[in-house]
Chain A
Amino acid sequence: GQQVMQIPQYQHVQEGEDFTTYCNSSTTLSNIQWYKQRPGGHPVFLIQLVKSGEVKKQKRLTFQFGEAKKNSSLHITATQTTDVGTYFCAGPDGPGGYNKLIFGAGTRLAVHP
């Protein structure tokens, strides 16, 4: 079945440093979604990318969808302590729509002040 892999599993950074997490799917995706889960919280939807090569920005966060629509990345510029949490990518298992999401294992970000 479809697999979504994420690296790294865990990243420590000093506040102000940049952070990147990478996501790879075993199959071509109709879209890729990113979620953030704060410690003790629930996954919160951040963004969805649909087009090949698409790049979207949310303040200090930059999301990219690969040309082949099999990989994606999330880059955070100048991390802050509020960025702490686990970042998950997820892709629909199927042609999209309301298909179930297959989640990556997540990248846990720790930010030291």
Chain B
Amino acid sequence: EPEVTQTPSHQVTQMGQEVILRCVPISNHLYFYWYRQILGQKVEFLVSFYNNEISEKSEIFDDQFSVERPDGSNFTLKIRSTKLEDSAMYFCVIGGVAYEQYFGPGTRLTVT
């Protein structure tokens, strides 16, 4: 199973603040995704990223969200102005060779 790491493991922020969630290190993968899971609920797709471009995004992924792969290895999700409803686990996911998806350990985002 490919290894996916995420930092931080837990982020607490105040409403309206910007947060950056990081997925490190990533190498030799082409497909990346961000999913989120509100406590006790299902896993929801946010965005997919291929060849340094967004390939698909969900309705959740509005103008407050952005993704980057700034240095060819790290993969980041930025939320510009957090809302209370953004509180969730955010998972960085990579696509496997047979289209399966491998989840990172997640970042728990708490917006107060």
Q: How big is chain A's contact interface, by range?
A: 20 to 34
Cα–Cα distance between A43 and B1 once the two chains are bound (Å):
13
Residues of B within 8 A of A96 (CB): 99
Which of A35, A44, A48, A93 is B99 in contact with, Cβ under 8 Å? A48
- When each residue 77-108 of chain B gets 1 if its CB lies under 8 Å from chain A and 0 otherwise, what string results? 00000000000010100011011111111100
Q: Mark A80-107 against chain B: 1 for CB-CB distance below 8 A, else 0.
A: 0000000010101100111111111110
- Chain B's interface: helix, strand, loop or mixed, by majority? strand
**A42 in contact with B105 (CB, 8 Å):** yes
Which chain A positions have C-beta within 8 A of B105? 41-42
| Bound CA–CA A99/B36 (angstroms) | 16
Chain A residues, Cβ within 8 Å of B102 = 45
**Is B33 a contact of A100 with CB atoms below 8 Å?**
yes
Q: A43-B91, A98-B50 are in contact. Are A103 and B103 (CB under 8 A)?
A: no
Task: Please pick, from B58, B95, B104, the residue contacting A42 in the complex, using a CB distance under 8 A.
Answer: B104
- A interface vs B, CB < 8 Å? 31, 33, 35, 41-45, 48, 88, 90, 92-93, 96-106
